[in-house]
Amino acid sequence: MYIKVLVQVGHEPLPPTLGRNLLGRQVYQLPGLFAYAKHIIKIDGKAGLFKGLGPRLCAGTIGTVVHSKIAQILGGQQKALDGSLPHVVNETTKEMIARSFATVVTHPFHVITLRCMVQFIGREAKYSGVFDSIITIYREEGMLGFFAGLIPRLLGDVFALWICNLMAHFINTYAIDDSMSHTGEIKNCSQAVTGFLASMLTYPFVLVSNLMAVNNCGLTGGLPPYASVYPTWVHCWKHLSREGNMSRGNSLFFRKLPAGKTYAIDYKRFY
């Protein structure tokens, strides 16, 4: 996640190299996961790869507890016939509510995690720990600062969940015959495929949410001239769309250099 976040905010500290794509054609590629990781290790050591781990663990633990509690409360409702469309809609609705509660409760830790990571760009230490970061955000931005980027994140989660479950239901119902051998394995595979497709379709929401979480927060990675300042997440979405950057950071391998794009690389910042 650390490297993906740095790529999402547009940090490219290494020059592109000439390589080959999946079709064997020569193209200029931006550094991938392993090259980026080696660069971070060179600057901060191996421990540098774990920036933001503390608040991320807090978010994961609290999110799991909240999700479980909400799911237990909603689980007492009457269920529709298993496998039917009403059943899928009912279960998806309950899962959506549980996930949404967990996302809202843990989003402040998510914001802190992202800001701890983005500090790598400007070599800052503004967000040094969970409690210190909470104080800093509250003092500078108030309560709203803890929920920067929440709306696109919620929308992305909800859309991904519904797309995944509905696609999987229709595939399992109309494309897979129950008389086929290994039906269970095939249905599990279809669920995984639809989940991947849903995450691809809703990735722009993830990107915009992460950018808004660090936008104009006092860090180099979220301020001009390095990054634009967006008044709302809608402005961020439109700006990325105009520049053709809606999928930036979606892949950490075979990262083709966009046509006509150049990257200012300042090595003095790191040495």
Strand, coil or helix: 14: coil
Residue 29 in tokens: 């590629």
Question: What CA–CA distance (Å, rounded) separates 208 from 180?
Answer: 42
What does pTM read for this prediction?
0.87
Are 32 and 254 in contact, with CB atoms under 8 Å apart?
yes
> 228 φ, ψ to 5°?
-75, 155
CA atoms within 13 A on the CB side of 89: 4
- Please, what CATH class does the domain formed by 2-11+34-252 belong to? mainly alpha
What phi and psi, each to the nearest 5 degrees, are found at residue 262?
A: -130, 155
Percent of the chain beyond pLDDT 90?
61
Query: Beta strands 17-20 and 26-30: pairing type?
Result: antiparallel
Mean pLDDT over residues 219-240, rounded? 93
* Predicted local distance difference test score (pLDDT) of residue 157: 96
Which DSSP string do the residues of 231-249 spell out, in sequence order? SSHHHHHHHHHHHT-TTTT
pLDDT in tens, 10-63: 898 888 887 776 677 777 888 889 989 999 999 999 998 999 999 999 999 999
pLDDT value for 87: 87
pLDDT one-digit tens code per residue, 127-170: 988 999 999 999 999 999 999 999 999 999 999 999 999 998 88
Alpha helices in the chain (DSSP H): 2-8, 33-44, 53-74, 85-122, 130-141, 150-174, 183-201, 203-214, 233-243
Tell me the mean pLDDT in the region 170-195: 71
